[in-house]
């Protein structure tokens, strides 16, 4: 029986990736469709994608698939042929990364989950069969001209912070499951307005659009393929981008630049900056925005405590990471952590 998971250390895998002499293409895709046996489908995918040298992160659930991967560019045709040989995925739109060096992933991980997007929905009457209408980049721009159009960002705060559509509403929550009911509350009284939901690649806003319709809203749209596809279409058709700044992505790049606008600030000094990083203290790994100057001052850490920690003996660092002395040094993307009370950057 073939090995259906990775057995090599992350350090070695990263080194192998950096030593590769061929190009890779970063792709994301998702599809809501019924999967009777997710574990069996997971093993089937792993066997074929591993053989093609695909890296990335894929989630499988009874409701469908959600994938962010990198494919050896020379294997793109073979990969697409394999994917399209699966009935429900035949002809599926693939989002190709806009700003890509091919170093987005270094290992293939395929996991079975209860849902491909954790939504907290327990209503048995809810169904993905009735969802909002797709809009492409041109339609999005046209709808944005209407002052009655309401644009809702269904991403997390750290994504919205570095880039978003002009006048888009942020749903102030750290999780998608909390955002759904909050979005409904925020839109009360706007049941007849045009409401456009958007997200990174389309998977969250597609489910959000179905949820809004389920809650009685009438004119609900969602951006087809999300920001990734929007940016691609804007570039191909030479239209003005109504999305400003960076599009946060969930791989080692941590962002794709869509426009040159820098709308965020360094979380430590407040200078204009939109570069995300993870704290270099292995007992923290806080995701935050840090400029080059602060990265040098704090050795890539989120604060003095973590900077001091990374210079301790390795054994002492391990003791701290055991948890009893961690304090605030835990992996955290919460809106409340380290976000300065600063206004938007003037552009």
Question: Which residues does the annotation mark as catalytic?
Answer: 199
What is d(CA 150, CA 168) in angstroms, rounded to the nearest whole number? 7
- Residue 54 token pair: 């695909």
Cα distances (angstroms) measured from residue 164 to each of 40, 55, 310: 38, 28, 34
The answer to whether the beta carbons of residues 258 and 227 sit under 8 Å apart is yes
Q: How buried is residue 236: exposed, middle or buried, by Cβ count under 10 Å (0-12/13-18/19+)?
A: exposed
C-alpha 140/C-alpha 97 separation (Å) is 20
CB–CB of 26/70 below 8 Å? yes
The H or E element that residue 158 is part of is helix 157-162
């Amino acid at each position: 029986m073939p090995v259906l998971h990775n057995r090599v250390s992350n350090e070695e895998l990263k080194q192998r990736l950096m030593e590769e002499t061929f190009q890779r293409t970063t792709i994301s895709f998702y599809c809501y469709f019924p999967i009777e046996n997710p574990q069996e489908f997971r093993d089937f995918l792993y066997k074929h994608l591993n053989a093609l040298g695909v890296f990335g992160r894929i989630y499988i659930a009874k409701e469908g698939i959600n994938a962010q991967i990198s494919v050896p560019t020379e294997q793109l045709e073979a990969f697409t042929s394999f994917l399209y040989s699966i009935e429900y995925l035949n002809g599926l739109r693939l989002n190709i990364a806009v700003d890509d060096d091919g170093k987005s992933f270094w290992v293939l991980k395929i996991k079975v989950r209860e849902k491909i997007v954790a939504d907290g929905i327990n209503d048995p009457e809810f169904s993905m069969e009735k969802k909002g209408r797709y809009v492409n980049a041109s339609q999005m721009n046209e709808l944005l001209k209407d002052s009655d159009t309401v644009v809702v960002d269904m991403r997390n705060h750290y994504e919205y912070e570095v880039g978003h559509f002009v006048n888009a509403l942020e749903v102030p929550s750290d999780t998608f499951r909390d955002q759904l009911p909050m979005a409904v509350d925020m839109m009360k009284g706007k049941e007849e307005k045009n409401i456009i939901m958007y997200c990174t690649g389309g998977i969250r806003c597609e489910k959000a659009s179905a949820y809004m319709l389920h809650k009685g809203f009438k004119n609900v749209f969602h951006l087809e393929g999300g920001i990734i596809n929007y940016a691609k279409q804007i570039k191909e058709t030479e239209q003005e981008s109504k999305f400003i700044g960076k599009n946060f992505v969930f791989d080692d790049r941590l962002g794709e630049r869509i426009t040159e606008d820098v709308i965020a600030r360094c979380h430590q000094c407040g200078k204009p900056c939109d570069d995300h990083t993870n704290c270099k203290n292995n007992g923290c790994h806080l995701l935050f925005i840090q400029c080059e100057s602060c990265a040098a001052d704090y050795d890539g850490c989120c604060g003095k405590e973590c900077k001091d920690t990374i210079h301790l003996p390795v054994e002492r660092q391990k003791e701290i990471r055991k948890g009893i002395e961690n304090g605030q040094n835990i992996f955290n993307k919460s809106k409340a952590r380290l976000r300065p009370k600063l206004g938007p950057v003037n552009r």
